[in-house]
Amino acid sequence: MHYTLHQLQVFLKIAQLQSITKASEALNLTQPAVSIQLRNFQDQFPIPLTEVVGRKLYITDFGHEIAETCEKIINELQLINYKTLSFQGQLSGRLRISIVSTAKYMMPYFLTEFVQRHPGIELIIDVTNKSSVIESLEANEIDFAMVSVLPEKLKVHRVELMENRLHLVSSSKLDVKAFRTKTDLLEKVPMIFRESGSATRKAMEDFLSKRGVSVKTKMALTSNEAVKQAVLANLGVSVMPLIGIKNELKNNDLQIIPLRGLPIITTWNLIWLSAKNLSPIALAYLDFLNTKKDEIMKKQFHWVEAYKDI
C-alpha cells in the first residue's frame, strides 16, 4: 500500500461530512480533485470504503474503521508538529473559544499559564449565551466551547473540568426567618431567571417544578452578572452558580439560602466537535489542560469547599 497523508486527510473529511461536495469545500479543493483522491485511496483496499444509495454517499462499516485510523494517524502527526513548535517556543496563531456567560468566572484561570508560555498566541474568547455558543461550535467557527450542559444533537469530545454548583441566593438584606417555610419564601419573593435557553434557567425551572412551587412574580435577565446585580439590589432571589458570587459572599452582600434539593450540581466541560481536525495550538492547549487542570482547580477554586455542606 502506498497511500499518502493527503489521501488520509481527504478520506477522513469525506467520512466526517458524508459528502464529496462538502469535503471539497472544507478542504478548499475542487470536487474532481477530491473524487480522484478518494478513488486512488479506495484502489488500495479490496473492500469498499463507500457506497452510493439513491445518489447519496454512505461510508461502509469498513470505511468507518479506516476513517478512525486516519484520524488517529493525522492527530499523532499534528502532535509531533506542536511538540516541536512548543519545544522551540514558536507556537503562534489563534485559539478561539466561546463560553457561556457564567464560565467567565473560571475559564480565564485555565488559560493564564498557557498563554504566558506561548506569547505568540492570539486568544479570542467570545462570552455569550448558550444558544450562540452551540451555533458557533456547530458552524466550526471556534476551536472549543465551554458549557455546563452538553449539546444533545452534536457529536463532541470533552474534557471535564470542575463542578458547577447552583445555590438559592438572596441579598443579605432579605430576612429569611420572616417566612413560614422555604416554599412560602419561594412563592412570595420575586424569582429572577436567566433568559430562555440558559442552562441555569432550565436547572432552576426543573427544580421549582419538582418541588411543585408556583412562582407568582418573576423577571428574566440576559446575563449572570445582571441577575447578580438584581439580587444584590434585593429585587428578588435566584438560583446562581457559586463561582460567580465569591466576593459578594465574602463581603456578606449575598447569602445562600439552604434548601433541600440544592445545590444543583453540573460539570463544566470544554468541548469540541468530534469531526474537527484540531490545530497545533488547540492540541497543545488540550495537552496543557489535561496536565494542569487539577493543579489549577486546587489553587484557584479551593474556596468552594467551604460551601459544600450548605
Q: What integer is the mean pLDDT of 104-133?
A: 91
Sequence ranges of the domains in the chain: 5-86, 91-162+267-307, 164-265
By percentage, how much of the chain surpasses pLDDT 90? 61
Which pLDDT value is given to residue 277?
81
Architecture of domain 5-86: Orthogonal Bundle (1.10)
d(CA 5, CA 10): 9
Q: Which residue has the higher pLDDT, 77 or 179?
A: 179
**Domain spanning 164-265 has what CATH number?**
3.40.190.10
Give 128-172 pLDDT, tens digit per residue. Answer: 888 899 999 998 889 999 999 899 889 999 999 999 999 999 999
Residues with Cβ within 8 Å of 223's Cβ and at least 6 positions away in sequence, in order, are 101, 194
Q: Which residue has the higher pLDDT, 233 or 122?
A: 233
Whether the upstream peptide bond of residue 190 has omega within 30° of 0, thus cis, is: no
Residues with Cβ within 8 Å of 276's Cβ and at least 6 positions away in sequence, in order, are 140, 143
d(CA 38, CA 234): 64
Pairing of strands 93-100, 238-241: unpaired
CB 101 within 8 A of CB 131: no
Q: Does 296 score more than 80 pLDDT?
A: yes
Q: What integer is the mean pLDDT of 254-263?
A: 92
- Average pLDDT across the chain, whole number: 90
303: three-class secondary structure by DSSP: helix
Check if 91-162+267-307 and 164-265 are the same fold.
yes
Give 8-46 pLDDT, tens digit per residue. Answer: 999 999 998 889 998 998 888 999 999 999 999 999 999
The identity of residue 193, as a single letter, is: F
Q: Does 90 score more than 80 pLDDT?
A: no
Q: Does 87 score more than 80 pLDDT?
A: no
Fold of 91-162+267-307: D-Maltodextrin-Binding Protein; domain 2 (3.40.190)
Q: Which residue has the higher pLDDT, 279 or 233?
A: 233
Which pLDDT value is given to residue 89?
66
Which pLDDT value is given to residue 2?
83
Q: Which residue has the higher pLDDT, 146 or 277?
A: 146
Q: What integer is the mean pLDDT of 250-274?
A: 93
Q: What integer is the mean pLDDT of 61-68?
A: 93
Q: Does 82 score more than 70 pLDDT?
A: no
CB 271 within 8 A of CB 157: yes
Which pLDDT value is given to residue 167?
95
Lowest mean pLDDT among 73-77, 106-110, 115-119, 191-195: 73-77
